[in-house]
């Protein structure tokens, strides 16, 4: 099994390949996940669009959404061919769109079907097959429900369960509200680890601090972090040494400026080889100076749509001036005071 001590959650419209490249600059060893990709998108769409990734993202796992054994097996084979280290089945997303496809959190009502899907994928590939799920759905709050779900699927050969410690409300709450409104019940996830000591149990939901991670790791095998990792990415720069036992000596000091320079180099490479406009990449690093003085102005430079036709190198130089006043770019005269 892969180690899942620290993972960054699959987040729709956020953890694309550019985001993962950025996160990998900050942590070399945390396990990264793609956005959820549906089986239909892979089977009927542009496989490269969904599965292309940079070698430096590794280790990286693919999260799949689906409920058909044959289709999931086919997509797992694609994941293995594209060098992903794990396939994760989404049994936790509560969105109406996902429910219409009869997968995501609603699959928790059908553990035997999930078990069949897991077995089909395990039979198809040599890489890990894992499941991400909730502790319950709607008003089902009995521990027995999630215990039986995990027990049934483990018999199909799944050894790693990533557990969002909230119920999923299938009606009445938006996906955002489903991440915030149902109460966190960490004790149920801890109990799963006690009842299934041979399984790898990873906890997810409401993790914002180093102290929380340390506390959870006393009870379970791993912690998955979502929005806080995205909004406050510099936090990731402490993870390798603090949690993942890494004492590696970097050839360059880990500074925000160094990370920004590396991202600009990546933007230039993506533009030259794939025609990717730099704003699609820069949006993922807007939290790099989270809570630092002048962070708001720095973000405004990188997110200013009027600069989109400039070189990212020039934008970076302009962003370096964020505590000061006026920058003359030659073709454009740009005043930071306008951003106040």
Q: What is the pLDDT of residues 135-149, one digit of tens each?
A: 999 988 999 999 999
d(CA 38, CA 49): 13
Percentage with pLDDT > 70 across the chain: 91
* Element housing 105 (H / E): none
pLDDT of residue 179: 85
Q: Is 214 helix (H, G, I), strand (E, B) or coil?
A: helix
In contact, 27 and 259? CB cutoff 8 Å: no
How much is the average pLDDT of 201-230? 98
d(CA 86, CA 93): 19
Query: Is 93 known to be catalytic?
Result: yes
Task: Flag whether pLDDT at 191 surpasses 50.
Answer: yes
In contact, 91 and 108? CB cutoff 8 Å: yes
d(CA 171, CA 141): 16
Task: Flag whether pLDDT at 173 surpasses 60.
Answer: yes
Give me the residue spans of the domains in the chain: 6-243, 256-339
Model-level pTM greater than 0.85? yes
Report residue 262's pLDDT band, with 50, 70 and 90 as the boundaries.
very high
Task: Flag whether pLDDT at 238 surpasses 80.
Answer: yes
pLDDT of residue 338: 30
Percentage with pLDDT > 90 across the chain: 80
Q: Which residues contact 116 (CB under 8 A, 6 or more apart)?
A: 69, 156
Q: What is the pLDDT of residues 278-330, one digit of tens each?
A: 999 999 999 999 999 999 999 999 999 999 999 999 999 999 875 544 443 43
How much is the average pLDDT of 34-45? 96
Task: Flag whether pLDDT at 248 surpasses 80.
Answer: no
Q: Which residues pair with 146 in a beta bridge?
A: none
- Structure tokens that stand for 324 in this block: 């000061």
pLDDT of residue 96: 75
pLDDT of residue 244: 85
> Nearest Cα to 149, choosing from 179, 181, 105?
105
d(CA 175, CA 190): 25
Report residue 333's pLDDT band, with 50, 70 and 90 as the boundaries.
very low
Q: From residue 136, how far is each of 2, 11, 31, 127, 322 by CA, in Å?
A: 26, 20, 25, 28, 47
The active-site residue, picked from 93, 106, 117, 158, is 93
| Cα angle 208-104-85, degrees, rounded to a multiple of 5 | 70
Mean predicted lDDT score pLDDT of the chain: 91
Strand bridging mode 222-225 / 128-137 = unpaired
pLDDT of residue 139: 87
- What is the C-alpha radius of gyration for the chain, rounded to an integer number of angstroms? 21
Lowest mean pLDDT among 163-167, 235-239, 275-279, 335-339: 335-339
In contact, 256 and 285? CB cutoff 8 Å: no
Domain covering 6-243: architecture? Alpha-Beta Barrel (3.20)
């Amino acid at each position: 099994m892969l180690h899942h001590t620290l993972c960054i959650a699959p987040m729709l419209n956020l953890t694309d390949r550019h985001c993962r490249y950025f996160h990998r600059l900050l942590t070399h060893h945390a396990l990264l996940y793609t956005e959820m990709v549906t089986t239909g998108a892979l089977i009927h769409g542009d496989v490269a669009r969904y599965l292309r990734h940079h070698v430096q993202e590794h280790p990286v796992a693919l999260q799949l959404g689906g409920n058909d054994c044959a289709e999931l097996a086919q997509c797992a084979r694609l994941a293995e061919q594209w060098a992903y280290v794990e396939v994760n089945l989404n049994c936790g997303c509560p969105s109406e769109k996902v429910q219409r496809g009869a997968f995501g959190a609603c699959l928790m009502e059908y553990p035997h079907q999930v078990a069949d899907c897991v077995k089909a994928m395990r039979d198809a590939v040599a890489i890990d097959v894992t499941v991400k799920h909730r502790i319950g759905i709607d008003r089902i709050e009995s521990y027995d429900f999630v215990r039986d779900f995990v027990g049934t699927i483990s018999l199909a050969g799944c050894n790693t369960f990533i557990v969002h410690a909230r119920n999923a409300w299938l009606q009445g709450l938006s996906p955002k509200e489903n991440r915030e409104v149902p109460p966190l019940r960490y004790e149920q996830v801890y109990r799963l680890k006690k009842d299934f000591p041979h399984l790898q149990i990873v906890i997810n939901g409401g993790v914002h601090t180093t102290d929380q991670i340390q506390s959870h790791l006393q009870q379970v095998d791993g912690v998955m972090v979502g929005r806080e990792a995205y909004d406050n990415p510099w936090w990731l720069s402490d993870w390798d040494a603090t949690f993942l036992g890494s004492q590696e000596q970097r050839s360059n000091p880990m500074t925000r400026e160094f990370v920004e320079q590396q991202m600009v180099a990546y933007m230039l490479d993506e533009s030259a080889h794939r025609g990717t406009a730099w704003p699609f990449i820069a949006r993922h690093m807007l939290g790099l100076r989270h809570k630092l003085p002048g962070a708001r102005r720095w973000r405004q430079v990188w997110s200013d749509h009027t600069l989109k036709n400039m070189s990212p190198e020039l934008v970076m130089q302009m962003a370096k001036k964020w505590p000061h006043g006026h920058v003359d770019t030659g073709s454009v005269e740009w005043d930071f005071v306008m951003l106040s």
